[in-house]
Amino acid sequence: MDASLPVHLKSITITKKQLRQGKCLLPVFFYGVTIFTKHFNEFAKPIGMIGRTHGISRVFNDLLTMGICSFHQTNIQSQLIEQDENNEALYMETIKPYSKEELNELSKALGALQLSILDKPYSDLLGEYFTINITKGHNGQFFTPDPVCEMIARMTLPNLDTEEGKRILDPACESGRMLLSAAKINPKNYFFGADNDCTCAKMATLNFFSQWFTGGNRMDE
């Protein structure tokens, strides 16, 4: 470790073996040093394991769909007493390729997502996983770092700290992290996102649901 680094960073070590084994996956940047969080590892492990059989991209997309179906308005409002037929049909079709053991592991991944949000509200674990493990930055899909998103949100919406009930739109929302940054400043607004990539639209939607956003999201074809 470089002796010129601040004291609180000198104890950080990340080995190539850890990276290969998926033990260090979520990057947090400090002075050029990358640190990784426990919840990201817990999220990534079952997807990587099941992805060996079904493909990581497919598993990740199916996990997004499962999460979105779970947060369906009818499920929430009725506390799972009532069901929406179309939502249930989509959910059952999505889980069909997976065994009970695999579905149990995927439920752990969704649990890790919720725990990451409890520990760090308005964080974007989904977007980080997507760029690191699926696109790897290809096709320009390497999302803006959180600190930059927050800076842009404050520059674009300078009065956001005190304004409430505003409609805030991101027409190319990716995983929704620009909107997450705006909500972090002041959640008492309405947030809307759109994207022409289905996976991005689903990530943003699940981020919205998981963090109890008021607003909406859509995919434009």
pLDDT score of 141: 63
pLDDT-derived band of residue 37, with 50, 70 and 90 as boundaries? confident
Strands 167-170 and 33-35: unpaired
Is a pLDDT exceeding 50 seen at residue 23?
Answer: no
pLDDT score of 160: 85
Residues 6 or more apart whose Cβ sits within 8 Å of residue 20 = none
pTM: 0.77
Is a pLDDT exceeding 70 seen at residue 220?
Answer: no
Residues 6 or more apart whose Cβ sits within 8 Å of residue 187 = 213
pLDDT-derived band of residue 14, with 50, 70 and 90 as boundaries? very low
State pLDDT tens for residues 132-181: 888 875 555 667 888 888 899 999 888 888 888 889 999 988 899 999 99
Q: What mean pLDDT is predicted for residues 23-35?
A: 42
Q: At 138, phi and psi to the nearest 5?
A: -70, 155
Task: Write out the E strands in 88-214.
Answer: 167-170, 190-195
What topology does CATH give the domain 142-221? Rossmann fold (3.40.50)
Please state, in angstroms and rounded to a whole number, the distance separating the CA atoms of residues 217 and 202: 9
Least confident window among 54-58, 75-79, 148-152, 189-193: 75-79
Is a pLDDT exceeding 90 seen at residue 54?
Answer: yes
In this predicted model, which residue has the larger pLDDT, 135 or 11?
135
The two tokens of residue 123 are 């964080």
Is a pLDDT exceeding 90 seen at residue 30?
Answer: no
pLDDT score of 137: 57
The strand pairing partners of 170, in sequence order, are 193
